[in-house]
Chain A
Amino acid sequence: MSAQLKITNLHKRFGGLVAVKDVSFNLHPGEVVGLLGPNGSGKTTVMNMISGALTCDAGRVNVNGVDLTRMKPHRVAKHGVARTFQLVRPLPTLSVAENVLLSLAFGRKRHWGREARDLVEEKLAFVGLAGRGDEQVGNLTYIDQKRMEMARALASEPSLLLLDEWLAGLNPSELRIGIDLVQHLQGQGMTVLLVEHIMEAVRALCSRCIVMSAGEVIAEGPSAEVLDQPVVIKAYLGDDHA
């Protein structure tokens, strides 16, 4: 099976600090993979280099056989990579529907007009915001803003979805809703790379995990095995717990 996302020897330095060091991994089509690691281990930096928010110093990013290394974010989006943000970033002067419409209008297929309006409603219904397109994003609850952001990401019709702590800050019942949504996407064959700290979500969603620490990949494999490895527990909790 050919890889959908192929990262080879990715390297990023901020001044004297090496944030990401020689990171390589693959994602296969339809996989939901967890990218884990303690704060500051370089997960978000990796995400940013895939989505084009940051350019890498060395290495390659390849999606669906296309080399996206050092490509600008808007072009990466057009090659089928969509993302959410660590802290939700709704566009406040736009309505809920317009937030989603933006990605439809500038995504892979550049939808507009009547057809785009129907698709907006479809995306909103998928995330559980049916009929709420005319609301102001400022009036949405936190979970609904997260839903809206998911709809906006899906509206560019990606083949690879990057979720950066998308489930963070949700209460237990909201978390259930969030996990169900990602599972629903998984059912549709979406490939997802998930940066996540909530182990419950990681165990429920990810068949495979990649663990980073201090900018390097320290473990990789099926979730159940990886999460119990001493080196992973040590990275998260310190020496005493290993």
Chain B
Amino acid sequence: MTQVVPRRAATRTRPQSATFGGIDDPSGAPAPDGPDFAAIHDSPEFTALRRRFRRFVFPMTGLFLLWYLAYVLLAAYAADLMSTRLVGSVNLGLVLGLLQFASTITITALYVRWARKRVDPGVAEIRESAGAGR
């Protein structure tokens, strides 16, 4: 444990020494410690991207949660209704259950298509202007 303390002290002073050592920096620039996250965060591109993202995923999450809860409550409290035979011995409960599978696959497909069109290009643009590359 004894060696931990001096090491930690070294990290604490690192930013300072970086400023002093700025002259050694080959680029001569004030050593940009990675991308300027605050500037990216406040840029209109990022704000728009984030709004787009939240406007899709939050309502979608609400939708599938409600649909699942409705199904669970029906199974729990409306067993008679769920027992209605539809085709042969296949009842409403089974069909609704399989519809949960179908809706899960549909939402997955919708999200993937939407993200490819509406998120990925925006992300690529922001990454490029931040110099983070592809």
- Bound together: no
Q: List residues of chain A with CB under 8 Å of any chain B CB.
A: none
Q: List residues of chain B with CB under 8 Å of any chain A CB.
A: none
